[in-house]
Structures are given as structure tokens and as C-alpha cells.
């Protein structure tokens, strides 16, 4: 059975809006056609009535959702629940993310993701291991008792996922260039985060294959007059990728606008850093023994330390238009195509093009989500 999505407005590569017919066969986009192209008899037709048809969002940093924290539920069921919570907000592909924890939790998380992909849990692209190989100086909400140095003997564990992508966030100064090179050579995507590294240390790590930066500006050494720090290195390097949290709280929007002016926006990607409260009405939750409070869309502990977000990707896209002044097309792109490219999955995810997965968001002109289609099926 083929499905034709007709009368949908797509974003062109130049940001223009185009009315197109998208032909889907099973879970894959077969063709993107002019509206005058005849549709074969027997094709199911879905009339979008002029609404926006956007690629499904790709989120590489999802700690939890639907009342589930991945650290507490490193299981197939936990991953499925997190994915279902975020799907309603347009996220059709994601990396369940572990924050700093014991090695046994990491082993269980990797095994769960591998099994989830094998059994077809919708949207799972791999795993993000954020710590425990961090700098306690920039720990943020991470438990300092779990933070440790990244030694060479842990490379086999961190590169053991058989299916999907593995992203590891680490502090380069808390390991060696040789370990970063070994991880990169093993296919692991390495990002700097929760780090107090110097600009020179970051530049060295980039030469060893480090690929990007986790939640730029947050929990990292800042740009200063005599030491560019992690932020300066990130903005100077044209090839690395930067995750950004656009909730108006983690980073002042004016600072993010400066970053976008300093480096190609094609190297920025929206992330939510979402916690279990997303998709629920919960006003608090537990994180490794700490009570975390949800306040005005962000999460803090009793001391006021930020603890991830209550942000979903649909809201992040709308915030990017409202706070950063990007066009709808550009905001959608850094929530879909850019993170897919970062993961090396640009040929199959994050775009509405022949050969890509039929993952769609149907939205109105305000980018409010009306429908989500995953693998050619409405969810």
C-alpha cells in the first residue's frame, strides 16, 4: 500500500514554502512530486489541506520523559516509554541519554538500547552516555561521587553497542588524546561537555576525532579575553557540531544569537536535555537521591542548580523562532536535518526526500504540532 500526502507545504532548501505531494511506500519516502503529478489508483490519499509538512525531529539528548528517567529504567520498556512521551511533540528519532552513573548502569543501558533497536522500538537511534568522565569543577547536577577518569580499558565498553550510534560526552582534560582517538576510531561520536578544558586542550581533542560540544555554554569553561576556553574553541572550529538548549533559561538568547553569528548555523542542533517530567503534569521528580523541581519549564534542585529541562522539541523549535529570530525553515532544520547529519544519518533521517524514512510532523503556521507520523503511520 502506498500513501500520498497531498496539499502539504514543505520548506524548500532556500527557505521558501512549496506545495508538494509526498509519496510513501511502507516506511520510506518514495518520491516528492509536484502537485499536478497524477497519483496511481489504489494509493491511499492523506489531504493535509495546506498545513505544514515537516521532517520528524531528531533529539540526541533525552534523559527521560513520560515519568521515566533512563538511568532508573535502562530497559526496553523504559526506552519505549520515553520515546512515546516525546513523539507527541514531534520527536521521531532520539538517543536515550544516561547521565553520570556506575559502569553497571552503562552496561545495562547499552544492552537495553541494542535490544530496543533489534526489536523495533520506534525512533531509537542509539545511546548518549553523558559522563561519568567529566570534570567535577563543571559537574552541574551530575553526582560527583560517580564521576571518574576515562581510562583506556573502558574503550571496549563504550564502543560495545552493536546497533545504532553511540555518543559519549566527556571532559577531554579527564582522559587522554589516545583514548579520544581510540573511541573515534571505534565509531563512537565524542563530544566535550561538563569540562573546564583550555582552548588548546579542546583543539587537541578535535584533532583526535572529537566531533562536537554538548549543550554549548552550559557546564564548560567560557570565552574570556586571555583564554578562549571551550566556548571559544567551539566557535572557532568550523567543522564541529554544537548542541544548544533554547529554553530562555540555560543560555540567554542574546548569547545564542552571538554564537549563530560566529559560526555556520548548519553546525548547531537543538537538544532538549529533557527530564522525566516531559509529557506529564509532574511538578517534581527524583534524580539520584535529589528532589528536582519543575518551575516555568525548567528543572532545578533545592539549591537552584539546573537539572536538565522540561523542554520538548516542538517548543524548542518555536522558541528558536521567537527568541533567536530564525526562520521557521531554519529552526526546523536544526531540529531535524542537522542532528541527523551529526549522527551520520542524513541520508535516511531529518529530511523529506526520496529514500528517507517517512517520519513527519504536521504543523500549523505557528509551528504547533497537529499530527505526528512515524514510519508512514500516524502515531
For 146-204, the pLDDT digits (tens) are: 999 999 999 999 999 999 999 999 999 999 999 999 999 999 999 999 999 999 999 99
Domains 2-54+354-378 and 56-342 share a fold: no
Catalytic residue among 59, 196, 273, 312: 273
Assess contact for 231 and 216: CB atoms under 8 A: yes
56 pLDDT band, cuts 50/70/90, is: very high
**pLDDT per position as a tens digit, 340-367:** 999 999 999 999 999 999 999 999 999 9
pLDDT, average across residues 239-254: 97
pTM, full prediction: 0.97
**pLDDT per position as a tens digit, 209-224:** 999 999 999 999 999 9
Inter-residue long-range contacts of 199-202, CB under 8 Å, 24+ positions, other chains counted:
199/227, 199/228, 199/229, 199/230, 199/232, 199/233, 199/236, 201/172, 201/173, 202/172, 202/230, 202/233, 202/234
Fold exhibited by the domain 2-54+354-378? Urease, subunit C; domain 1 (2.30.40)
What is the residue extent of each domain of the chain? 2-54+354-378, 56-342
User: Is residue 44 pLDDT above 90, yes or no?
Assistant: yes
Q: Within 10 Å of residue 183's Cβ, how many Cβ atoms?
A: 25
In this prediction, residue 128 carries a pLDDT of 98
Task: Give, rounded to a whole angstrom, the gap between the first and last alpha carbons of the chain.
Answer: 18
CB within 8 Å of 366: residues ≥ 6 apart = 318
**pLDDT per position as a tens digit, 14-27:** 778 899 999 999 99
pLDDT, average across residues 228-253: 97
In this prediction, residue 243 carries a pLDDT of 98
Q: Is 101 a catalytic residue?
A: no
User: Is residue 324 pLDDT above 90, yes or no?
Assistant: yes
Of 296, 337, 290, 289, residue with least CA distance to 317: 337
Q: Report the percentage of the chain scoring pLDDT > 90.
A: 97
Residue 169, CB-side half-sphere exposure with 13 Å CA sphere: 34
Q: With 0-12 CB in 10 A as exposed, 13-18 as middle and 19+ as buried, what is 236?
A: middle
200 Cα distance to chain centroid: 27
User: Is residue 58 pLDDT above 90, yes or no?
Assistant: yes
User: Is residue 297 pLDDT above 90, yes or no?
Assistant: no
Residue 256 C-alpha cell reads as 545564542
Q: Helix, strand or coil for residue 16?
A: coil
Fold exhibited by the domain 56-342? TIM Barrel (3.20.20)
**pLDDT per position as a tens digit, 95-144:** 999 999 999 999 999 999 999 999 999 999 999 999 999 999 999 999 99
User: Is residue 12 pLDDT above 90, yes or no?
Assistant: no
Q: Within 10 Å of residue 187's Cβ, how many Cβ atoms?
A: 11
Q: With 0-12 CB in 10 A as exposed, 13-18 as middle and 19+ as buried, what is 72?
A: middle
Q: Give the mean pLDDT of the chain.
A: 97
Amino acid at each position: 500500500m502506498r500513501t500520498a500526502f497531498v496539499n502539504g507545504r514543505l520548506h524548500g532548501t532556500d527557505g521558501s514554502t512549496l506545495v508538494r505531494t509526498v509519496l510513501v511506500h511502507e516506511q520510506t519516502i518514495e518520491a516528492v512530486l509536484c502537485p499536478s503529478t497524477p497519483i496511481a489508483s489504489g494509493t491511499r490519499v492523506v489531504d493535509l489541506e495546506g498545513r505544514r509538512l515537516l521532517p520528524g525531529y531528531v533529539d540526541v539528548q533525552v534523559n527521560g520523559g513520560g515519568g521515566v528517567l533512563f538511568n532508573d529504567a535502562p530497559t526496553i520498556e523504559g526506552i519505549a516509554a520515553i520515546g512515546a512521551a516525546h513523539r507527541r511533540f514531534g520527536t521521531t528519532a532520539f538517543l536515550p541519554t544516561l547521565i553520570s552513573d556506575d559502569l553497571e548502569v552503562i552496561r545495562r543501558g547499552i544492552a537495553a538500547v541494542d535490544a530496543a533497536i533489534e526489536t523495533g522500538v520506534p525512533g531509537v537511534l542509539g545511546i548518549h552516555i553523558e559522563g561519568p568522565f567529566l570534570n567535577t569543577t563543571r559537574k552541574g547536577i551530575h553526582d560527583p561521587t560517580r564521576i571518574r577518569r576515562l581510562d583506556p580499558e573502558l574503550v571496549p565498553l563504550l564502543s560495545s553497542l552493536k546497533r545504532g550510534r553511540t555518543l559519549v560526552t566527556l571532559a577531554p582534560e579527564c582522559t587522554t588524546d589516545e583514548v579520544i582517538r581510540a573511541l573515534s576510531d571505534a565509531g563512537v561520536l565524542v563530544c566535550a561537555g561538563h569540562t573546564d578544558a583550555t582552548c588548546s586542550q579542546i583543539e587537541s581533542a578535535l584533532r583526535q576525532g572529537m566531533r562536537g560540544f554538548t549543550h554549548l555554554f552550559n557546564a564548560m569553561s567560557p570565552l574570556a579575553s586571555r583564554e578562549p576556553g571551550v566556548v571559544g574553541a567551539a566557535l572557532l572550529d568550523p567543522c564541529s557540531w554544537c548542541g544548544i538548549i533554547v529554553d530562555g533559561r540555560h543560555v540567554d538568547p542574546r548569547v545564542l544569537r552571538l554564537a549563530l553569528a560566529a559560526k555556520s548555523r548548519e553546525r548547531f542542533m537543538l537538544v532538549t536535555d529533557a527530564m522525566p517530567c516531559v509529557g506529564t503534569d509532574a511538578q517534581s521528580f527524583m534524580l539520584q537521591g535529589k528532589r528536582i523541581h519543575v518551575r516555568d519549564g525548567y528543572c532545578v534542585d533545592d539549591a537552584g542548580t539546573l537539572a536538565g529541562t522540561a523542554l520538548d522539541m516542538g517548543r524548542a523549535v518555536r522558541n528558536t523562532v521567537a527568541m533567536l529570530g530564525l526562520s521557521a525553515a531554519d529552526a526546523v532544520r536544526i531540529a531535524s536535518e542537522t542532528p541527523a547529519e551529526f549522527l551520520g544519518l542524513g541520508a535516511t533521517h531529518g529530511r523529506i526526500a526520496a529514500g528517507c524514512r517517512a517520519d513527519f510532523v504536521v504543523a500549523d503556521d505557528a509551528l504547533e504540532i497537529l499530527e505526528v507520523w512515524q514510519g508512514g503511520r500516524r502515531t
